[in-house]
Structure 1
Amino acid sequence: MKALSGSRFNALWLLLMAVMIATRFKHFGDMLHLPDASMALFFLGGLYLRRHWTFVTMVLLAVALDWISISYAGVSAFCVTLAYSFLPLAYAVLWYAGRWYAPRVNHGALSLLGAFGVAVLAAVVSFAISNGSFYWLGGRYAQPHMTEYLSRLWQWGPLFVRTTISYVAVALVLHAVIVRVAWSSTAQQKEA
């Protein structure tokens, strides 16, 4: 897939940041709150935006949103421990998996299915990093051991991965629809 033009890059970057802001904390209350899309957005950012500085900016946005949530919106700081410093690594797994796969994306359904598969694998690794660092380094468990860790990994992992890949799946379907509409429009213009 070719790199996006400047205007498309900016529009998509603003859209990804807006979705992160909208889903990162419960500012509209429980009834209207969507699950956090941040992990999916990092994969999609890598897939479409690719630029390193954009990754850094999105990490800073995530940290700023967490700070605002804790400081002003009453969100618990339970997860903010030494392990929080591993979140950029968890985000990087997603971003750079998307970035790695980006040249393989074309107009075919098979390439989008491949992107989905890469997103699943990256989400699993990302969760293992974020959850593992929290469990082993977070200081929230008096005597951490592998059996308890694996139990918690299986308790929360499927939800995390399902949420992440659900957002990615929606984005890839939108990608396919947009490509199809653009291709159809181009074909009609050539016939005229």
Structure 2
Amino acid sequence: MNETFKPDEPAVEILEREQCFRGFYRLDRLHLRHRQFAGGMGPTISRELFVRHDAVCVLPYDPQRDCVVLIEQFRVGAMAKTDNPWLLELVAGLIDKDEEPEEVAHREAQEEADLELTSLWPITRYFPSPGGSDEQVHLYLARCDSQGAGGIHGLAEEGEDIRVHVWALEDALQAVKDGRINNAASIIALQWLALNRAEVRGLWV
């Protein structure tokens, strides 16, 4: 924080907040000023903010077999920028009111992959796109038994059509290197597991 500011001075002043759209998600427009590194408050700026629930992303890992469980589903955001908008991803879901992230992890693993998680290992929390969205992601590694995992899952009432894959961890890491796995949560979780595999297996095997 800039040391030229007094403790009682605000870091950000929100002058006006407009609600531009409200549906499953929400879009607000904020008019605000914030502290500047050179000192003093900056000029009024206008920023659109994509308002959405925080998310939980989970990488199911079978430490006995050294395998991960990934899901594949259509993603509209990738449609115009890749030849294949069916992405390989983590189990994931949004946090509803009065729900803890750990509850979401277990619920989504059942709905999206028909998996029972036996342990959760918090990896990190991060903002995937803080320049325009307030979403925060809670990222976990989860212990599971991958034997028999697979098939098509998801909730029909939510339009989900999800295919489950079991991959050797080395194959998943190669897919990150090749660019076949190209979404942030999956890349972060798989690279974290690669760095911490020995410790995880030492505790979970």
TM-score normalised by length of structure 1: 0.26
Structure richer in strand, relative to its length: 2
TM-score normalised by length of structure 2: 0.25
Higher relative CO (Cα under 8 Å, sequence separation at least 6) belongs to 1
Structure richer in helix, relative to its length: 1
